[in-house]
Amino acid sequence: MRITPETILEIARNAVARRVRNDPSILAAYLCGSTLEDDFLLGGTVDIDLVLIHIDQVSPPREIERLTDEVHLDIAHHSQKQYEPARALRTHPWLGPALYSGKPLYDRGHILDFIQASVRGMFNSPQNVIGRARPQAEHARQMWFELKDIRKEIGLKEVRLYLKALECAANAIALLSGDPLTERRFLVKFAHRAAAIGRPGLAAGLIGLLGGAEVQRETLQTWQLQWEEAFAALPETPRSTVLHPARRAYYGRAFEFLVNGAEPRAVLWPLLRTWLEMVAEMGEGSVAAQGWNEITARLGLSGDDFCQRVMAFDAFLDQVEEALEEWAQRNGA
């Protein structure tokens, strides 16, 4: 299957039309995410991000629909209340950028037209840019406070919180010059966003916080194979949509592309995030847990080494907060 922007748009329109016919609660729908960018393919795969706005909340709020090994739909179901008041979404770190660049596919009663017009007004003003970025740094700092006094055995809960804090800190920088970071290209794009504000050293700092400073390509290739083995052992219908069977090639081929690219350590972010979910799904003693324990020990994300990572994160956060203040002063925000 040849995947082009035109192909993606046609698939998205057909998917929305099919659902609108069967669900009268749908008020609007739009296409968003990496499919609207020039480099939407990674490892020859892509997910098509669709958002359906409903009259009321729909459960489950997210679903995955396989089309081919290379393409799947990632559909979010939102209530219209999530978009009220529309002007406030200018400073929402996720919905704001998605709406600003989103492509409408269905709009009953012009609800989406009104929302997008409200969001796009002064969206790129310094006040709104820093309004999206600064809360991310504040969330990261709050999570650091939760982590800094942890001395007990480090488990999934602590590592999950640590990765979430890193995500917020990185997005505080990323939002100064663009959209929030997507999972597969997280470290690749963070390097560009950090350089865009004159802080290129933050990229190496983030890799260091993941324990990847000394990790070599060959090691990452071995971990990739272990990840494949663990994913193959997942139940047929995992609880987490992240681990939906349709996403196996989406991650696996992206990992292969990244590991063999100019900066192989860029694979660390999606590898760790998805591996953590596999362990949560399958539990201790599983093939996923065995590999996870080995890797987190190697990366310093367990035991006493984890406390050292948290201490280093404090210094990284200081740099992020300084960068935000400098940007605000320079741009009159």
209 pLDDT more than 80: yes
Quote the pLDDT of residue 333.
84
pTM of the model: 0.96
pLDDT confidence band for 39 (50 / 70 / 90): confident
Q: Return d(Cα 54, Cα 252) in angstroms, integer.
A: 33
Cα 114 from Cα 105, distance rounded (Å) = 14
Which of 10-24, 71-85, 150-164 is predicted with the least confidence, judged by mean pLDDT? 150-164
Closest C-alpha among 294, 293, 261, 292 to residue 275 = 292
Q: How far apart are CA 220 and CA 263, in angstroms?
A: 11
- Residues of the chain above pLDDT 90, percent: 92
The predicted structure's pLDDT at residue 152: 78
What domains can be seen in the chain, in order of their start residue? 5-120 (3.30.460.10), 126-319 (no CATH)
Share the mean pLDDT of the chain. 96
Q: Which pLDDT value is given to residue 149?
A: 87
Torsion of the alpha carbons at 124, 168, 170 and 312, rounded to the nearest 10:
150
Residues 235-258: tens digit of each pLDDT: 988 899 999 999 999 999 999 999
d(CA 256, CA 20): 37
pLDDT in tens, 42-70: 999 999 999 999 999 999 999 999 999 99
Beta bridge partners of 54: 26, 79
Peptide bond into 85 cis (omega under 30): yes
- Letter string b/e over residues 103-137, b meaning 16 or more CB atoms within 10 A of that residue's CB: ebbbbeeeebeebbebbeeebeeeebbbbbbbbbb
Tokens 């055995």 appear where? Answer: 153
The tens digit of pLDDT for each residue in 77-96 reads: 999 999 999 999 999 999 99
pLDDT of 2 reads 83
Across the range 197-223, mean pLDDT stands at 97
